[in-house]
Structure 1
Amino acid sequence: MMDSETTYVVFQVAQRIAIGPLAEVAVAARHVGDPVLIFDRTTGKVIDLDLRGDDEAIRARYTPEPETARRGRPKLGVVAREVTLLPRHWDWLAQQPGGASVTLRKLIDAARKDGPDLKARTTAAYNVMFALAGDSPGFEEASRALFAHDHTTLTKHMADWPNDIRDEIWHHLSADQSHS
C-alpha cells in the first residue's frame, strides 16, 4: 500500500496544506480538519485515509516498514538490482563515457521525458485538475488544452485559478519529478 518513495499532498479547498511522506501528510490533514483532499503525487489520484486517533497513531498507521539493507548507494537513493543483457549490449555499455550505470540512467531519463511517461503525467495532472477545479471557469477549455499539450492555452484558462491548484497541476506536467 505504501511506497517510501511516493510523496503526497493535502489540499483544503484550494489551499495546499502539506507535501511529503504519507504519515506526515496524514497528520497535517488531521490538524486542518474537513474538508480535505489527499493526492498521491505519482498518479494525481485522491486517496482516502483513516485519520482517527492522535498524531502518533496516525504516523504509526502510515509509516512504511523499514526497508531491508540494500545494495548500491541508499543514501543517494541508488538501488542496485540485476540487469540481464546480451554480450553485445554489455560491450556497447562498456564503451560509453561514465560506464553502464550512468549510460542506462541517461537513456531512461531521455525516454521518460517524452515517452509513455508523458501520458502518465498528463493523466495525473487531469486527476488533480478535475478534483480541485472541475467547477472552475475555463475547466473544459483547460482540459482540452491539457490533453492537446498546448501549455500556452492551458495557462490562459487557468489564469484565474488559485496559485496552489495551478502549481500542483504544473508539478505533474514537469518532465523531471525526481525531486518531488
Structure 2
Amino acid sequence: MPDLSLRCTAFAGPARIASGELRHVALKARQAFASGRRVLVFEDASGRQVDLPLELSEGELLRLLSAPVPMADPVPAPARGPGRPKLGVVAREVTLLPRHWDWLAAQPGGASVALRKLVEDARKVAGGNDRRRAAQESAYRFMQAMAGDLPGYEDATRALFAGDVARFEERTATWPEDVRDHAALLAADAFVH
C-alpha cells in the first residue's frame, strides 16, 4: 500500500471531497463510497489513480493502509562488486563507442567522475523541462480520467502540451469547477517558460 503521508485528492463524481494525506482522503472517500457515490482518488504529484479498497470498514481500511507491504519473494543481496556502497554508488553497465571511452579516460578523475559531472550539468539544464513534462503528464492523467468525455477535452489536452495557458483555460471553462480547478493546479508548471 502507498505511504500514508502521500498527498492525494478524492472526487465523488465531479466534486472534490477531500485533499491532503492519504489517510484523511481515504476515510472521506470511503464515506462517500458508502453513500453510493462513485469515487476516484488521485495522487497529487503524478495524477495517477490510487486504488483503495473502499468497501472495507474504516478501521479495516486504515489497518490495511498502515500494514507493511509484504515482499513476494525475498530478494538475495547482490554480490558486492565495484563501486562505493557507503556513498550510494551503484555500478552499472554503460555502452559507449571507443572514442567516447578514450575521451572519458583522458578527463581528470577518470570516466566515473566525468560522467557524474556530465549528468549533474544535464540535470541543471533540463530541470525546467523535467518539471514542465511532469506537470503535463500529471494533468493529462487526471484529465483523461475525470474529463475525457467533457466538451473541449481534446483541445484542452493540446493546449496543455503546447504550453498555451489561455487556450487551456478557455477550453476548460465549462467543466465542473472542482475538475477544472484541480486540472489547472496540476498543470501549473506546464505553463511556466
TM-score between the two structures when normalised by the length of structure 2? 0.63
Q: Does 1:37 align with 2:50?
A: no
Letter of the 1:8 partner, please give it.
C
> Aligned-pair distance for 1:148?
0.4
Residue 184 of structure 2 corresponds to 170
Distance of 1:27 and 1:166 partners within structure 2: 24
Q: What is the correspondence of 1:81-92 to structure 2 with a 5 Å cutoff? A: none
1:62/1:150 CA distance change after superposition, 3 Å? same
Q: Is 1:54 paired with 2:41?
A: no
Contact 2:4/2:23 (8 A) holds in 1: no
Shift of 1:146: 0.7
Matched letter for residue 131 of structure 2: D
**1:2 maps to which residue?**
2
Q: Distance in 2 between matches of 1:30 and 1:150?
A: 37
Amino acid at match of 1:148: A
Alignment RMSD: 2.8
Structure 1: unaligned runs, 5 residues or longer = 66-81, 87-107, 176-180
1:4 CA displacement: 4.7
The structural deviation recorded for 1:173 is 1.9
Alignment partner of 1:15 is 2:15: yes
1:58-117 CA distance string (max 9 Å, x none): 12222376xxxxxxxxxxxxxxxx799x9xxxxxxxxxxxxxxxxxxxxx99964x2212
Describe the SS at the equivalent of 1:156: helix
Q: CA 1:109–1:17 in structure 2 vs 1: closer, same or farther (change >3 Å)?
A: farther
Alpha-carbon distance, 1:123 to partner? 0.6
Q: Equivalent pairs: percent with the same residue?
A: 32
Contact 1:24 1:59 in 2 (8 A): no
The answer for the alignment partner of 1:105 in structure 2 is: none
Cα contact 1:141–1:157 (8 A) shared by 2: yes
Q: Partner of 1:9: helix, strand, or coil?
A: strand
Distance 2:9 2:62 in 1: 16
> Which structure has the bigger radius of gyration?
2
SS at match of 1:50: coil
Identify which of 54, 63, 68 aligns with 2:66: 63
Count of aligned pairs between the two proteins: 140
**Residues 5-60 of structure 1, C-alpha deviations (whole Å, 9 max, x = no match):** 52111101110000122222111111112311111111111121112332222122
CA distance in 1, matches of 2:58, 2:14: 24
* Structure 2 unaligned regions, length at least 5: 69-86, 90-107, 109-122
The letter for the 1-side match of 2:47 is G
CA displacement, residues 106-139 of structure 1 (integer Å, 9 cap, x when unaligned): xx99964x22121111011011111111111111
Matching residue of 2:73: none
Asked if structure 2 preserves the Cα contact closer than 8 Å seen for 1:7 and 1:41, the reply is: yes
